Amino acid sequence: MENFLPSIPEKRYFTIGEVGDLCGVKPHVLRYWEQEFTQLRPMKRRGNRRYYQRHEVLMIRCIRDLLYDQGFTINGARTKVHEMLQLERDKKRNGELLLDGIEPIGVAHAGEESPAEEPLASFSAASPDRFFYVRRELFEIRDLLSAVH
């Protein structure tokens, strides 16, 4: 599936037309999938214009693969997406999830202090470790916000 689709540019937001081109589906299909897959919630701006984020583009590619390439029905794909997301949540809770090559949160190597005990101010602005802590905090905020909904 992904071999035939263009790579996703490094952008924060994508219009529905851009997502359609990146995922190989028409905009009306994307609007329909928003109704069928509750995980797809693009930000809407003036005039109800949709703006998708990178994780939503990846989710759409996954849905496309399930429907078009693997032959799932809408109900089957909805169930499969729910199972995949639940598995990721379970992995994250168990500390098994690796995020783009970053070790699980809260895991310290032998002889090292726990990352949670080190203040952010001790890192230089260009330090990759600084991004680890910022990313961890953003994921925690996202989890808190998703628990509210």
Specify the amino acid at residue 41: R
Residue 55 and residue 41 in contact, taking contact as beta carbons nearer than 8 Å:
no
pTM score of the predicted model: 0.60
Which letter does DSSP use for residue 11 in this model? Answer: -
Structure tokens at 92: 């994250």
Residue 18 and residue 53 in contact, taking contact as beta carbons nearer than 8 Å:
no
The fold for domain 1-96 equals: Multidrug-efflux Transporter Regulator; Chain: A; Domain 2 (1.10.1660)
pLDDT tens, the chain, 149 aa long:
445 888 888 989 999 999 999 999 999 999 999 999 998 999 998 888 999 999 999 999 999 999 999 999 999 999 999 998 888 888 877 776 544 444 444 444 444 444 443 444 444 445 555 666 677 777 777 777 776 65
Structure tokens at 37: 């897959």
Domain ranges of the chain: 1-96, 98-149
Q: pLDDT by residue (tens digit) across 37-63? A: 998 999 998 888 999 999 999 999 999
Q: Where are the alpha helices (DSSP H) in the chain?
A: 16-23, 27-36, 54-64, 74-93, 128-148
Question: Which residue's entry shows tokens 């703006």?
Answer: 51
The total of other beta-carbon atoms located within 10 Å of residue 19's CB is 22
Q: Which residues contact 125 (CB under 8 A, 6 or more apart)?
A: none
CB-count exposure of residue 116 (10 Å: 0-12, 13-18, 19+): exposed
